[in-house]
Amino acid sequence: RIRGDGSCFFRGFIYILMENLVRDKSEGKEIEFNRVKELFDKSLGYLVEVGYTAITIEIFCEFAVEFMKESKFPKNQEALDKFFADPVESMYLVWFCRLLCAGYIKHNWAERFQFFVTGNYATAEDYCAKEVEPTNMECGQLQIIALCEYFQVRICVEYLGASEQSEETNSILLGPEEKPVSIYLLYRPGHYDVIYPKDKVSN
């Protein structure tokens, strides 16, 4: 179960993304790992391009780059779970995800996002400062789209009804349509949890 602290979407997203990479590497598949690693390696420059000051964000970017090194990356599921069980270390990756989400929105504000934003936000900086960067701010659909597009992954979110007795869900697919779904999350009002399709559970 994902910790419910306002960052549950980002935590669930990065956990499953890393879990998929751990599995791929254990099967000798390196292509996706190398692709994501390159995004991590370029993250500091990418964020500086949209106005972030390097000295204020480099601790998160450097942590993420170090995490993806062969010598540090979790070798198996147990090691990955141990890392995410540490609320301090795992929070560095969660905040790193928030930065990347905000950075992607800022990079693509004019042509991609500004017309879908509700509220009185004149600039991408205003929007991200209020809706993305605060650590306790829940994630909305726009942020989900931004993160999926940045990482080029497709996600399925199962939305559960507001009633505690409700078991019916509505599925929403977000991210590049040409990609297969690789991340599944369950949303019940106020919280995201990781879920797995039955075929993966049975295997």
Active site residues: 5, 8, 191
Q: Is 50 exposed, middle or buried (0-12, 13-18, 19+ CB in 10 A)?
A: middle
Beta-sheet strand order (sheet of 181-188): 169-174, 154-160, 181-188, 191-194
**C-alpha to C-alpha distances, 164 to 161, 184, 191, 197, nearest whole angstrom:** 8, 21, 13, 22
Which DSSP string corresponds to 141-161?
Answer: HHHHHHHHHHHT-EEEEEEEP
- Count the neighbouring beta carbons within 10 Å of the beta carbon of residue 131: 21
Question: Checking DSSP bridges between strand 191-194 and strand 169-174, what pairing results, if any?
Answer: unpaired
Residue indicated by tokens 């659909």? 141
Which of 181, 201, 183, 203 is closest to 193 using CA atoms? 183
